[in-house]
Every structure is written in structure tokens, then in C-alpha cells.
Amino acid sequence: MSANEVVELFDNIEVKPVVKKKRVLTQKQLDNLAKGRAKMKEKREALKKEQEEKGLLKKEKKAVKENKQIKKQNKVNKKQNKKLNQEAMSHREKLILNKQKKEQAEKLSKFDDLKSKWLCKTETIEDYDLVKEELESIPEEDILDDTKLESSLLDIMKKYKGDDIEEE
């Protein structure tokens, strides 16, 4: 055999790739493989479901947090409104109290003037002392209430009827 013949021989041979036979699995192996695949599928689904729940939980937590923030803001707004209302009310109350104090001061001043007039009209020191004692015994509450003051003054006048004391 010559070299040419050997080369021709090799050229005529077709090279086929070696194909391995697939491994043949037993039925038990196939069953276990199916079980493993099913188990992994369940795990993936559970994980996916858990992530969805976490996403929902995150959304729920976010909604709850937003609700809390809204409630907190409402509470702050209510406090601010309440404070403003209190300030407005306190301002009104101060105005009313100032007005009442002025009226009370005026009434007390008028009573002092009336008391001075009555005491000036007394002729004796004894009458002066008696009238002064009676006028000073009138409580401030009665002085501030016109009807009570009038009744007290009328009672005093009845006790000391005379020409020297006149009703004012």
C-alpha cells in the first residue's frame, strides 16, 4: 500500500460525530425528578406570592402612614384653630371684663359721690357717724346692683327720715 492509497482510503471514510446515547432513567428516578421540579415550582410560587404580599403590605403600610400623617396634620390644625379661637375669645373676654370693670368703677364712684353728699347734709357729728356707718355697711355687691342699692338706700332713708337727707 502506497501512501496515495492510504490517503484515498482516509478520504473516503466519512467521519461521523460520536453520539452518546441518552441516559435512560428508571421510573423511580423520573418520579423523583418530577417531585423535585414540582417542589421547586411551589417554592417559586410561594416566593412570588410572598413578594406580592410584601408589596401589598408595603402599600398598606404606606397608606396607614399617610393616614397617620393626615390625622396628625388635622390634629395640629385643630390645635392651631383652637388656639386662635382662644386668643380671639380671650381678647373679647378682656374687652368685656374691661368694660365691666369700668362700669363697676363708675358705679362705685357715683356711690362715693352720693355718700359724700349725704354726709355733707348731716347736721350733727352723731348723725354723721350713724349715716356713715350705715352707708359703709352696704356691701359692694349691692352697690354694683342698682336695684339692691336702691332698696338699701331706701331702708337707710326710712331709718333716718328727715329733711337733711334726700333721695338722689
Position 53 scores a pLDDT of: 83
Position 43 scores a pLDDT of: 96
Helix or strand run (H / E) with residue 26: none
Q: Is the pLDDT of residue 125 over 80?
A: yes
Round to whole Å and give the CA distance between 55 and 66.
16
User: Measuring CA to CA, which residue among 141, 71, 83, 78 is closest to residue 108?
Assistant: 141
Each residue of 3-48: pLDDT tens digit? 777 777 767 777 677 777 888 889 999 999 999 999 999 999 999 8
Position 166 scores a pLDDT of: 47
Position 41 scores a pLDDT of: 96
User: Measuring CA to CA, which residue among 115, 122, 134, 136 is closest to residue 165?
Assistant: 122
Task: Classify 129 as helix, strand or coil.
Answer: helix
Label residue 142 by pLDDT band (50, 70, 90): confident
Distances (CA, A) of 67 to 1, 55, 75: 98, 18, 12
Task: Write the burial class of residue 160 (CB in 10 Å: 0-12 exposed, 13-18 middle, 19+ buried).
Answer: middle
Position 162 scores a pLDDT of: 53
Each residue of 78-123: pLDDT tens digit? 888 888 888 887 778 888 888 988 988 888 898 889 888 888 888 8
DSSP codes of every residue in 39-87: HHHHHHHHHHHHHHHHHHHHHHHHHHHHHHHHHHHHHHHHHHHHHHHHH
Residues 6+ apart with CB under 8 A from 128: 119, 122
What ranges do the domains of the chain cover? 25-159
Residue 63 corresponds to which cell in the numbers above? 397608606
Task: Specify the length of the chain in residues.
Answer: 168
Q: Please state whether the predicted TM-score (pTM) of the whole model is above 0.85.
A: no
